């Protein structure tokens, strides 16, 4: 991931202002340690901190069109850039960067080109011909982006809050799938898929089509000129991504440069479920596997750095971000600059354990829609910022636009958990990759139950966090919580502890408002309570307490079932 920082129309073209913009941009250097660039045109400044993944030697930013009248700074990857270049025969490209195509597309199509981009991206584009600018964020919000406004009439764009938090009078999250245009002085939504209206789809379930859609999503993300690997927890989502990557790596440019044997990475406390499962999957796939360990104290010591980098006080996000933050540092130390990860499957397929209580397919589908729309505030934020903290890029094939279109067109009845029909969570995804002739994964991995990442790294991790918060937050402090934190009041000592750190680092009201709903929204407590009133007894947002599903799976083993539908005919334990 790169870092972009723009201050546009600030009514100040002095050297002092340029120095200030450079200072703001340097706050994002962890995102792009390979090169820094700053463009100035009058009172408009565009800064870029580069993480070089494609065309490392010549793709420095900002990038330009032929006569440098169009300037663009981009964070992300445009996977279909070669196809887009072929549609622009009269344009001359100066670099091999996948991002340069944006400047030329703007020349041809004006502001209406964004939907042509297939990738993850945030960008700022400045047109010197009329001193206008646009900024846009990818469909789902895989890349992070914020926008702010100053009293001097300026508009500021930054990849992270820390680029704005003492520069703008007001700032907020830049909404995914939207474009901001200076010509209209506001936003417009460029991403308008059929599922966005939450209308209930009725498309048939075609397991082969679903399989091919995910394979295509993974393969396009093998576009790289630097060493890369896969994050592997041993759960379904990361294991499928690793399996597909291992199958298709040999024929890619990356394999010719760095070798055809895939590198995989996992992290956990000693003896954690994820480490055990990841090692088994790595052995099955034949990856070069790297297993990292951390202690509860290691994680606790990193909490303040984690909150500084991920810029949230959401409990579940901090719990899961900390191991990922520690792992990313280790990965970068090995010389790897890009990883492929498994975020997004649970939102698309209803994989979270409270989906077991969905009363009907309509409720199930609408909740998956809401989860996808909010993922930029949680799992995307975690994956993007935990890795970017160390100059590492994470790519997420489950959030590919085309794959989402295929998955969200399926009748949601097929996605629902139905124990009578032997269908556990994400059953349609599991069945799509249940290939008897050439198995993608061992059966018991393919049908392994959903595990929260913060639980999978070791069950004592969450308990350790709670115990630490208990020491630092007193009962008296909790009594005043509603007065100290009237917005998103923390309901637990752990939440209170994170909130104290966040507000010390980001004291502005605008920063506090970028975390909507706190912990309760992260685990969809409101929806879970609506589906099953017993959920109201839980204050902890961890999925391990989800309606008793997780506890029943790990406190005792559920009876072995035999699947005999022609696709799943071997005997294995099913955790329900």
Active site positions, annotated: 2
- According to DSSP, the residues that pair with 266 across neighbouring strands are 291
Question: Which residues are CB-neighbours of 191 under 8 A, at least 6 positions away?
Answer: 115, 139, 176, 177, 178
CB 145 within 8 A of CB 153: no
Q: Is the peptide bond before 62 cis (omega within 30 degrees of 0)?
A: yes
Q: Please, is 486 exposed, middle or buried when counting C-beta atoms within 10 Å of its C-beta (0-12, 13-18, 19+)?
A: exposed
Neighbours of 14 (CB within 10 A): 9
Distance CA 260, CA 262 (A): 6
Residue 354 CA, distance from chain mean position: 21
CB 69 within 8 A of CB 85: no
How far is residue 154 from each of residues 131, 148, 178, 431, 514, measured CA to CA in Å? 13, 8, 20, 52, 20
Q: What is the DSSP letter of 286?
A: T
> What DSSP element (H or E) covers 35?
strand 35-41
Distance CA 395, CA 378 (A): 15
* Helix, strand, coil % over all residues of the chain, rounded to 5: 45, 15, 40
Distance CA 347, CA 88 (A): 36
Residue 504 CA, distance from chain mean position: 25
Which backbone phi and psi does 290 adopt, to 5 degrees?
-120, 115
Distance CA 402, CA 407 (A): 9
Nearest Cα to Cα of residue 165 among 23, 301, 30, 38: 23
Question: Which residues are CB-neighbours of 512 under 8 A, at least 6 positions away?
Answer: 487, 488, 502, 503, 506
Distance CA 174, CA 149 (A): 12
CB 118 within 8 A of CB 80: yes
């Amino acid at each position: 991931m790169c870092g972009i920082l723009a201050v546009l129309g600030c009514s100040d073209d002095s050297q002092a202002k340029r120095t200030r913009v450079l200072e703001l941009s340097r706050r994002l250097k962890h995102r792009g340690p390979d090169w820094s660039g700053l463009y100035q045109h009058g009172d408009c400044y565009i800064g870029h901190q580069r993480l070089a993944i494609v065309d490392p030697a010549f793709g420095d930013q900002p990038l330009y069109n032929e006569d440098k009248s169009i300037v663009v700074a981009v964070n992300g990857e445009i996977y279909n850039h070669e196809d887009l270049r072929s549609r622009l025969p009269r344009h001359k490209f100066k670099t091999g960067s996948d991002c340069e195509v944006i400047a030329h597309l703007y020349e041809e199509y004006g502001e209406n080109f964004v939907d042509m981009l297939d990738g993850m991206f945030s960008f700022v584009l400045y047109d010197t011909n009329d001193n206008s600018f646009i900024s846009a964020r990818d469909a789902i919000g895989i890349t992070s982006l914020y926008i702010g406004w100053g009293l001097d009439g300026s508009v500021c764009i930054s990849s992270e809050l820390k680029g704005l938090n003492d520069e703008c009078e007001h700032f907020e999250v830049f909404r995914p799938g939207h474009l901001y245009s200076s010509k209209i002085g506001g936003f417009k939504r460029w991403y308008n898929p059929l599922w966005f209206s939450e209308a209930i789809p009725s498309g048939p379930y075609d397991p082969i089509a679903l399989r091919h859609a995910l394979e295509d999503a993974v393969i396009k993300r093998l576009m790289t000129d630097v060493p890369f690997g896969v994050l592997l927890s041993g759960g379904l989502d990361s294991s499928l991504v690793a399996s597909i990557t291992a199958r298709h790596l040999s024929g890619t440019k990356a394999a010719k440069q760095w070798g055809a044997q895939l590198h995989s990475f996992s992290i956990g406390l000693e003896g954690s479920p994820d480490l055990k499962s990841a090692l088994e999957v790595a052995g099955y796939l034949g990856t070069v596997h790297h297993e990292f360990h951390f202690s509860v104290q290691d994680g606790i010591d990193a909490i303040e750095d984690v909150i500084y980098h991920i810029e949230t006080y959401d409990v579940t996000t901090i719990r899961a971000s900390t191991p990922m933050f520690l792992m990313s540092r280790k990965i970068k130390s090995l010389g790897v600059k890009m990883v492929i990860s498994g975020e997004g499957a649970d939102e698309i397929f209803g994989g979270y354990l409270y989906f077991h209580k969905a009363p009907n397919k309509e409720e199930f589908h609408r909740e998956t829609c809401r989860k996808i729309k909010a993922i930029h505030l949680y799992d995307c934020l975690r994956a993007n910022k935990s890795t970017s903290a160390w100059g590492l890029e994470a790519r997420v094939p489950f959030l590919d636009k085309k794959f989402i279109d295929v998955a969200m067109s399926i009748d949601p009845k097929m996605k629902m958990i139905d124990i009578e029909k032997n269908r556990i969570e994400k059953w349609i995804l599991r069945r799509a990759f249940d290939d008897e002739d050439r198995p993608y994964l061992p059966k018991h991995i393919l049908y392994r139950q959903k595990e929260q990442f913060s639980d999978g790294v070791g069950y004592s991790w969450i308990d350790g966090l709670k115990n630490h918060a208990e020491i630092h937050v007193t009962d008296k402090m909790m009594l005043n919580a509603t007065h100290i934190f009237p917005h998103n009041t923390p309901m637990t000592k752990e939440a209170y502890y994170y909130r104290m750190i966040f507000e010390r680092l980001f004291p502005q009201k605008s920063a506090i408002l970028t975390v909507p709903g706190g912990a309760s929204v992260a685990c969809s407590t409101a929806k879970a309570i609506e589906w099953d009133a017993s959920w109201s007894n839980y204050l902890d947002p961890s999925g391990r307490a989800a309606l008793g599903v997780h506890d029943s799976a790990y406190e005792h083993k559920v009876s072995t079932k035999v699947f005999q539908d022609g696709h799943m005919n071997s005997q294995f334990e099913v955790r329900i």
